[in-house]
Amino acid sequence: MRLSVVVPCFNEEQGLAGLHAELSAVLPTVTTDFEVVLVDDGSTDRTLGAMRDLAATDPHMRYVALSRNFGKEAAMLAGLHEAEGDVIVIMDADLQHPPDLIKQMVDLLATGYDQVVARRDRKGEGRLRKVSSKTYYKMMNRLVDVRLRDGEGDFRVMSRRAVDALLSLGEYNRFSKGLFAWIGFDTAVIDYENRQRQSGSSKWTLGKLLNYGIDGVVSFNNRPLRLAVWIGLVVTLLAFAYAGYVIIDTIVSGIDAPGYATLMVGIAGIGGLQLLFLGIVGEYVGRIYYEAKRRPHFLVKETSDPEQRPGPVVV
């Protein structure tokens, strides 16, 4: 069995040595035939330099450097393209994904699974983040067609055919949590305790998280559009009923000027709804726009291979 470990890295200069040390301790206990594919996602620090050094001294280490920061999803994809193993591990560079779990996960995969996910708890996270994640996944699972679970992130082990399935999905907007669930296959789960980042800082900001959340909802179904239609229908019916009431009231008790408040609430309320739904439609149109361009997900600047394969990768 050949094992590939794919690690997307963005400004992880300080963490790479630690990661290398831990992986070098753990991976030989899993198999002798392994490779680590580091992906430099356009880091602005010395991450790429550190990767070059590692690749030069350790034949198990390889790297791909992207031409700029394309985001973790793209970096992961680049690594998966590059990985040659029959079993592929995806993990973060910051050691929040404990490498000593890899053996257990690979063993579990060998018992007949195509994906093994490590699920973390949310120990040590802020209350707000905990509560909002919980609510989000509850809502999400009502909205989308695939099942997503809290804590199941990108730390996973996959079989070659699962990775090939993933690579065959050519969409530009990649919400990998959803894609992992979408490809299906038998999936096993291992629980582990959340860890703090060893060095550097998290790349998630509140804004990024919110956008990620919206991506998740919009990438996987058209239910928000359907919801817009239903709410539009209900509001229209209410408006008709109210119009009927106003007409009858005018006939029965004559013309009466008051109603400023109702008018304003109506205008503002419906105006707000219209903008919201226009936004939802816009989200989908925007996605079509990106898909239609068919740009590559990432560009490769440099790899550790002597006979380099730079240039765009179109999936």
Site residues (CB under 6 A) for ligand UDP?
8-10, 12, 41, 69, 71-72, 75, 92-94, 96, 202-204
The DSSP output letter for 133 is: H
Longest CA span, the chain: 92
Of 113 and 155, nearer to ligand UDP (C-beta) is 155
We find the least distance from the C-beta atom of residue 9 to ligand UDP, in angstroms, to be: 5
CA separation for the pair 18, 160 (Å, rounded): 28
From the list ligand UDP, Mg ion, none, pick the one residue 71 interacts with, judged by a Cβ distance below 5 to 8 Å according to partner type: ligand UDP
Residue selected from 35, 94, 152, 154 as contacting Mg ion according to rule CB under 5 A: 94
287 binds, among Mg ion, ligand UDP, none (CB under 5 to 8 A by kind): none
Residues 91/117, Cβ–Cβ less than 8 Å: no
Q: Considering only CA atoms, which of 191, 212, 192 is closest in space to residue 202? A: 212
Q: Whole-number minimum distance, CB 246 to ligand UDP, in Å?
A: 53
Q: Within a 10 A sphere around the Cβ of 261, how many other Cβ atoms?
A: 8
Is residue 96 within the footprint of Mg ion (CB under 5 A)? yes
Q: How many CB atoms lie within 10 A of CB 199?
A: 15
Q: Judged by CB, which is closer to Mg ion: 73, or 114?
A: 73
Asked if 154 touches Mg ion (CB under 5 A), the answer is: no
CB-wise, 13 or 94, nearer to Mg ion? 94
Q: What is the dihedral of CA 55, 107, 26, 37, to 10 degrees?
A: 20
Give 31 or 69: the residue with its C-beta nearer to ligand UDP: 69
Query: Which of left, alpha, beta for 224 (phi over 0: left; psi -120 to 50: alpha)?
Result: alpha
* DSSP H/E element including 39: strand 34-40
Choice between 24 and 133, CB closer to ligand UDP: 133
Query: CB under 5 to 8 A by kind: which of Mg ion, ligand UDP, none does 10 bind?
Result: ligand UDP
Ramachandran assignment for 187, one of left (phi > 0), alpha (psi -120 to 50 degrees), beta (any other): beta
Instruction: Please identify, among the stretches 1-9, 84-92, 254-262, 289-297, the one whose residues bind Mg ion according to the rule CB under 5 A.
Output: 84-92
Reference 218, options 165, 291, 168, 121; nearest CA is: 291
Give whichever of 35 and 92 is closer to ligand UDP, judged by the CB atom: 92
Q: Residue 171 is encoded by which pair of tokens?
A: 């969409």
Q: CA triplet 175, 110, 186: central angle to 5 degrees?
A: 45
Q: Which is nearer to ligand UDP, 94 or 114 (CB)?
A: 94
Least distance CB 301 / ligand UDP (angstroms): 14
**Chosen from ligand UDP, Mg ion, none, partner binding at 204 (C-beta under 5 to 8 Å by type):** ligand UDP
Using CB under 5 A, list all residues that contact Mg ion.
92, 94, 96
